[in-house]
Amino acid sequence: MKKLLSTVLTSVLALGLLAGCGTPAEDDVTVRIGSLSGPTTIGIINMMDEESDIENGDYEFTVSTQPDEIAASLNAGDLDIALIPANLAATLYNRTEGGIKVIDINTYGVLYCITTDPSITSVEDLSGKTVITTGQGATPEYAMNYLLEQYGVTDCTLDFKTEGSEVIASLQADPNQIAVLPQPAATAAMVQIEGMNIAFSLDEAWSEVSDSRLVTGVTVVRTEFLEQHPNAVASFIVDHHNSVISANTDVEHTAQLVVDAGIVGALPIAQRAIPLCNIDCVAGSQMKTDLSGYLQTLFDANSQSVGGTLPGDDFYYMG
């Protein structure tokens, strides 16, 4: 709790949002926010519940199941702020020639290897195995390929499914399989399938072989909107921080909101999954350090994973 509060205070100070900072008033504005149905939405679910209003406007939330849907809405100008995968943010920055900026990191590693096989405890143990997962062309694929290479595993096969529910159905049909799933799907599988447990966290495995963090999700803003409404964006960051604190410190209440929103089907799953989601809200210099390091790692492994080139410094909104 103290660490989270300290992070919030540091970011607030950095953004010049404390009372008396003298920022000019803005006209009423509705901030249109898009997020994915998963950990990124869990991080803002308390904002959505409280129907938080900024000083001179309000928030409008849209929850999607596919990153491409959010990307399309951003490109069309139908969303102002969006919580999306980190590598997609870099790709959109390149595709729009700087049309978006990152304002914070909202989740770190949410991927877990799960299995009923107690002999699987590390990436090396995947040698000669088949792993079912989701996210082809996205974070799960890039993270797994990087880890397999770093740990010297050359004979692991990745079997991609369309979505987490398909992976869980496959595990139910054959519990002896190995899977990599994000939270809260990983917890849902463990609750539903007897003997299914976490073999290892991809976030921890990543940290052992890389100087960067495994950054899963970031929050971006359209550059045009930021230039027109900087105070609204700054207010959003503070409200995001506060919502994350609520999610991490009042899990029971947040879990109920998550179930009510249809993100997770059962309260026990939500309560168990939230602490494993690595939900955060990191802005400013730490955001740039963590994200740029992660994107550099992806770029070195596969330049197309970040849209062909690394984003410039203007990609990172420093307040």
Q: What pLDDT was estimated at residue 54?
A: 53
Q: What pLDDT was estimated at residue 139?
A: 83
Amino acid (1-letter code) at residue 46? N
Does 66 lie in the same domain as 203?
no
Residue position matching structure tokens 């994915």 = 36
Final residue of a structural domain among 161, 184, 209: 209
Does 195 lie in the same domain as 241?
no
Does 239 lie in the same domain as 179?
no
Within 10 angstroms of residue 36's Cβ, the number of other Cβ atoms is 22
Task: Output the tens digit of pLDDT for each of the chain's 319 residues.
Answer: 333 433 443 344 344 443 333 344 456 889 999 999 999 999 999 999 875 455 556 899 999 988 889 999 999 999 999 999 999 999 999 999 999 999 999 999 999 999 999 999 999 999 999 999 998 888 889 899 999 999 999 999 999 998 889 999 999 999 999 999 999 999 999 999 999 999 999 999 999 999 889 999 999 999 999 999 999 999 999 999 999 999 999 999 999 999 999 999 999 999 999 999 999 999 999 999 999 999 999 999 889 999 999 999 999 999 8
Amino acid (1-letter code) at residue 194? E
- What is the tally of structural domains in the chain? 2
Q: What CATH number does residue 137 fall under?
A: 3.40.190.10
What pTM value is reported for the model? 0.87
Within 10 angstroms of residue 233's Cβ, the number of other Cβ atoms is 25
Does 220 lie in the same domain as 84?
yes
280 φ, ψ to 5°?
Answer: -150, 180
SS3 call for 263: coil
Final residue of a structural domain among 151, 180, 209: 209
Does 163 lie in the same domain as 135?
yes
Per the structure, the complete domain to which residue 177 belongs is given by 111-209
Final residue of a structural domain among 185, 209, 233: 209
CA distance 144 to 159: 12
Does 230 lie in the same domain as 310?
yes
Residue position matching structure tokens 């090396």 = 124
For the chain, the first-to-last Cα distance in angstroms comes to: 24
Does 246 lie in the same domain as 201?
no
Does 153 lie in the same domain as 32?
no
